Structure 1
């Protein structure tokens, strides 16, 4: 099974929904958030971009990032994505669109189960003021604050742990798709942030070591975005198989992340 992964295209800045192309290198595409925004002035262009991908891929898996809700609310952004999912299911000329919002998807005849959610980060109380003041998420997304952000984190984490523990995934290899990062391993972080007191670092990454979803041998790959720093490494887990952690983030057009590859594919043997 081969899955092409891309995140953080930020086609809203500058507006480039109509010109950016993803060349298919696998039958399945995972868009891991911050692809664009569903504000009124961007919605139609963003949807046109997504429909183009549905003409090129058998299935497009979509995880919402923080930018998708800019200029609107989280419920409205999610409703648009669910509407596109319904549209694709009723149109034989399009591939399947799967909104990975606490969603389980078994790839047919592969032995691979995908688990997907945004995985909002956890913001501790001592960082709440800095995060709320310095992160655009709490200005550009309407009706959203740190308390709601943390509540969404708790729901996403509980869901992931429950799914990994479920008998329905007992015999499958699991790949988890999120937007926010599940690790603070130094290899996942931009070196310019290492060794510094960074009160807003918690807005990007949460250390999930010790959690069922992070430690289970069933979970072999975790792909995410949001940090604008690309990595590809394995986390050793004792006698259990290691966890492969991987990203493929472009970043903003005028400040692109090193190592971005729009043809990047994750293969499961």
Structure 2
């Protein structure tokens, strides 16, 4: 939580410094350009926002390592049902996650707005975020810095999937005749950006954000007599996000 707060404060401080520079630029632009577009812009009412983002970050990847005896033969015979994998090797790989969200909300004035949104994302498995957002725009002129706080829950699989053979990057690493479900988890997504008007009814947005995502997965293997084994894996994912969006008002 401390790390999330520090990152959020850093984003706010950076945007505040940038906003001051943009304010000076807007003041100069007003002297030379026709501002009729701003007189027609709606500063209160419904808005719709469609956003596409790429989430960058390191993911810990676990490789399954097949264990061999010194003479070169597999440590387990083919008829043995025990897993044929020893302790894994781990390393970090850069991952790029596509994200698409749609938000609908209400602008209370030229500064404050709030809304709710849904989306679709592809991590190790599909996630479907459902979130609320609070949006603050410094001013609604030619170049408009803004800050957004988003929070909610990303849903994973809505039903359990059965596998004849399943390779996992967490213990037990390999299972046969089992079920797997990805549950998703809580998300937190502070965002800063710049909004440029396209016309009196729409804006083009460029964003930089930090994404914290919790995930949980469960694997289950059933036996006779109503016996079963179940394994649970939780993970916290942290990503830097770069995005572009169109906002209609």
Q: TM-score range by the shorter chain?
A: under 0.3
Higher strand share: 2
Which entry has the higher C-alpha Rg, 1 or 2? 2
| TM-score, normalization by structure 2 | 0.25
